[in-house]
Amino acid sequence: MKVTVISGGVGGARFTRGLLALLAERLPDGGGGTTATVTVVANTGDDLWLHGVRVCPDLDTVMYTLGGAVHEDQGWGRRAESSRVSTDLASYDLGWEWFTLGDLDLATHLARTQLLREGRPLSQVTAHLCRRWEPGVTLVPMTDQEVETHVVVDDGPTGERLLHFEEWWVRHRAALPARRFVQVGLEDAVPAPGVLEALRDADVVILPPSNPVVSIGTVLAIPGVREAVVATRAPVVGVSPVIGGAAVRGMADACLRAIGVETSAEAVARHLGLRARGGILDAWLVDTVDATAATALARDGWSTRAVPTLMTDVPTTARIAAAALELVGL
């Protein structure tokens, strides 16, 4: 069985960890893993150059989470981490003092930057880093080109200002009203090697509960990706990142507001759309508290169901993954 997941950071990583646990149970390989092939196509729109190194937040969150190295409470970064280098750098008034790079995490960025400087594309660099962490999936960036999400915000009564997504998200906690998002570099971007193939050859494509705007939306914006999702023979199933009208963790509601979509499980589903009607989804899993959304969507031809979708631990998340697969008959 071939499974392809389109992922952001924390939401996508946690879901995929549960999915792998489920697959290891159903299709065991005898060594604790699974015979299923899982490809994770990750958002790289949050990437940035900082202190001379290339930082790829979502790729690293997936890699650390599946590799057993993630800081569990935080959901990103390395466990048992320190920040001596970042603290020391701040003494020079350089960089972004509000964007901490952990000391161990910095080693990943240094390694990545060295390999990029040697001329290797990000997809190959990611594969190299994954040799150490053995995430149990093929982790692929959405593109090898630098495509960075920027946020257009108000600047005085007349103007507007562009800031990097991470500055808006981390420094301003998404509190500056966003007018729109811009993917700088998108025109020259093509899907990374393996992305279109993973979508075309999949037995199922899953949209985990990732940010529908700046994670899933950014991956879909890479020329050819949305078309590949629309065209795949595989069923496409999504899990709602919105529970009871709220983004569970983080400020995804601010992103939805910027693109004029209500923060509700039903509105996000309709925004992504039913494949039979020009969208990208065949099925949508919502939380128990959104049972009315499931009813409304079902009336309009969606395959949908309401189950508990809070990813509290791995077994619970495995059950969410099972419910998602069940929606498309797997």
Q: In the Cβ-directed half-sphere of 326, how many Cα atoms lie within 13 Å?
A: 12
* Residue 18 in the binding site for ligand GDP (CB under 6 A): no
Strand partners, 153: 161, 178
Nearest approach in angstroms of CB 93 to ligand GDP is: 28
* Residue 9 in the binding site for ligand GDP (CB under 6 A): yes
How far apart are the C-alpha atoms of 59 and 144, rounded to whole Å?
Answer: 12
* Residue 232 in the binding site for ligand GDP (CB under 6 A): no
How far apart are the C-alpha atoms of 217 and 60, rounded to whole Å?
Answer: 19
Q: In the Cβ-directed half-sphere of 161, how many Cα atoms lie within 13 Å?
A: 11
Q: Where do we find the tokens 């995490």?
A: 105
Nearest approach in angstroms of CB 228 to ligand GDP is: 20
Pick one of 3, 6, 7, 8: the residue that binds Ca ion (CB under 5 A): 8
Amino acid residing at 317: T
Cα diameter, the chain: 64
* Residue 209 in the binding site for ligand GDP (CB under 6 A): yes
Pick one of 241, 266, 284, 305: the residue that binds ligand GDP (CB under 6 A): 241
Question: φ, ψ for residue 172 (rounded to 5)?
Answer: -100, 5
Pick one of 15, 24, 56, 58: the residue that binds Ca ion (CB under 5 A): 58
Q: Mapped to the 3 state alphabet, what secondary structure does 120-188 carry?
A: CCHHHHHHHHHHHHCCCCEEEECECCCCEEEEEEEECCCEEEEEEHHHHHHHCCCCCCEEEEEEECHHH
Neighbours of 320 (CB within 10 A): 24
Stretch of 50-58, 123-131, 171-179, 183-191 lying at the interface with Ca ion (CB under 5 A):
50-58
**Dihedral-angle region of residue 51 (phi above 0 means left; psi in -120 to 50 means alpha; beta otherwise):** left
By three-state DSSP, how is residue 129 classified? helix
240 versus 303: smaller Cβ distance to Ca ion: 240
Nearest approach in angstroms of CB 75 to ligand GDP is: 7
Pick one of 163, 248, 267, 323: the residue that binds ligand GDP (CB under 6 A): 248
By three-state DSSP, how is residue 47 classified? coil
Binding to ligand GDP (CB under 6 A): which residues in 292-311? 309-311
User: What is the distance, to the nearest Å, from the Cα of residue 174 to the centroid of all Cα atoms in its chain?
Assistant: 18
Binding to ligand GDP (CB under 6 A): which residues in 37-76? 58, 61
Binding to ligand GDP (CB under 6 A): which residues in 131-190? none
* Residue 34 in the binding site for ligand GDP (CB under 6 A): no
Contacts of residue 8, defined as CB under 8 A and 6 or more positions apart, other chains included, come to 42, 43, 58, 210, 211, 214, 215, 216
Nearest approach in angstroms of CB 156 to ligand GDP is: 30
11 versus 279: smaller Cβ distance to ligand GDP: 11
How far apart are the C-alpha atoms of 156 and 161, rounded to whole Å?
Answer: 9
How far apart are the C-alpha atoms of 278 and 274, rounded to whole Å?
Answer: 7
- Among Ca ion, ligand GDP, none, the one that 311 touches (CB under a kind-dependent 5 to 8 A) is ligand GDP
Stretch of 30-38, 51-59, 192-200, 281-289 lying at the interface with Ca ion (CB under 5 A):
51-59
Total of residues contacting ligand GDP (CB under 6 A): 25
* Residue 47 in the binding site for Ca ion (CB under 5 A): no
8 versus 135: smaller Cβ distance to Ca ion: 8
Nearest approach in angstroms of CB 204 to ligand GDP is: 18
**Dihedral-angle region of residue 156 (phi above 0 means left; psi in -120 to 50 means alpha; beta otherwise):** left
75 versus 95: smaller Cβ distance to ligand GDP: 75
Which residues contribute to the site for ligand GDP (CB under 6 A)? 7-12, 58, 61, 209-211, 215, 239-243, 247-250, 252, 309-311
Binding residues for Ca ion, per CB under 5 A? 8-9, 46, 58
